[in-house]
Structure 1
Amino acid sequence: MKSITQLLHFGYHQAMSCIFPVAIFGTLFLSGVIEIPFLYRYDAILVILLAVQYLMYRSRLETRDEIKVICVFHIIGLLLEIYKVRMGSWSYPEPGFTKLFGVPLYSGFMYASVASYMCQVWRRLRMDMTGWPGLASSGLLGGAIYLNFFTHHFIPDFRWWLTGLVLIVFWKTWIIYRVRTVTYRMPLTLAFFIVGFFIWLAENIATFFNAWKYPDQHQGWQLVGFGKISSWFLLVIISVIIVAQLKHVKAARTTKDI
């Protein structure tokens, strides 16, 4: 009975942490079946997601610091989207006023939703880490991963080498999380893969609802290749590095103030 109670509490906190991602996919679905008057679909999605973020902040589901993190990820994601669309990796074929270099501004929120989930679950499950490698090694690795998303169009793709480095750099790192009064732990690299897998599932849902299209989906929707899981695995690592480092900085400042 205790294990069921723990599972229910864990599921509740996971569900609450997914409010913004669920809002995104709900909006993608509804905007695909319901025509919104006076607005292009991409513009309407942006307006709705901005409203959701405002309501989450006003209702204290998200803190001011979490909003700042989400803004950072929105910019990082938007820059990557602009580059990838320019290189023909995928496209946003529908019209819209809020498009920048062919990319709708709402697209950055899809990356920011990962940050929203991580900030929420970190706070709700009172997460911590042991064996964190520090800013130098984690920051350099995160930068190399992000750079590889751009450079692999011109030079060899180093994602598998980078994946190997992830296993080396984070092999001592464990996530500590708490459900009620019980403490659990998990290898960080396993958490990377789990979150990356679920983002891949979400990506299939998003492309099914025409949030964007890969070149092989223009004639009809088909499953996103399993190889994309590795891309999301690496992207999750960047997200965790940024969020974790910000948490460490904030904790150090709080301790110093005390």
Structure 2
Amino acid sequence: MGKVPAGEAGLRLIHLDADLAAIDKPAGLLVHPSSLDAHETHTAVDLLERQLGERVFPLHRLDKATSGVLLFARHAQAAREHGQAFEAGRIRKQYLALVRGWPPEAGEIDYPLARDPELPSAGQPRVAALTRYRRLACFDWPFSVDGRHPSSRYALVEVDPLTGRRHQIRRHFKHLAHPLVGDTTHGKGAHNRAVAQWLGVSRLWLHALRVELPGGLSIEAPAGAEWAPLLS
């Protein structure tokens, strides 16, 4: 990996070579300008371009609330080549997520999704979407969200989205009836608030842990300190 400039913008660069740059995106940072967050003045694209002093091309998306590996091309040819690799499913992405309940130890969610998650699903064409997951840990925490149960169950899962639909992981785990904790759109507010109080952190519990590219290059962003109670 080449020398990583510190840069006044302060983004944490985790990979830099002639073709690619990758950052460990913090939760709460937009990838690029969006009409849904028109008030936001800082985006990962803008900050990284100022940090490197050059134009960059985002190769995939992370939701604003998601943290972790975010990959950019440094020139148009790399953007084309790696964009085609993403489209062909030749680039593997792996995530960590905290979900409500205890899903099976491993599984595959093969469920078509409406193309635009910002619009009502009814009437939209659906596109194929496939997610694999593996359960890493189960938690039974001593607080009640549902009056029928004295405690509440959650699980840490490792997730591999095999297609790249918008909000795919969040929507697939909602379909599985194990929504992500901290998901204000597809999750449950009572659970989000209870876990935030228990762990002392309010966030969407979704982290892009690793991106693996053709040729053997693997770029990883270890989960932040707030994940330590879930990983120990």
Same fold by TM-score, threshold 0.5 exceeded?
Answer: no
Q: Which has the higher contact order (CA 8 A, sep 6+)?
A: 1
Structure with greater proportional strand content: 2
Structure with greater proportional helix content: 1
- What TM-score, normalized to structure 2? 0.27
- What TM-score, normalized to structure 1? 0.25
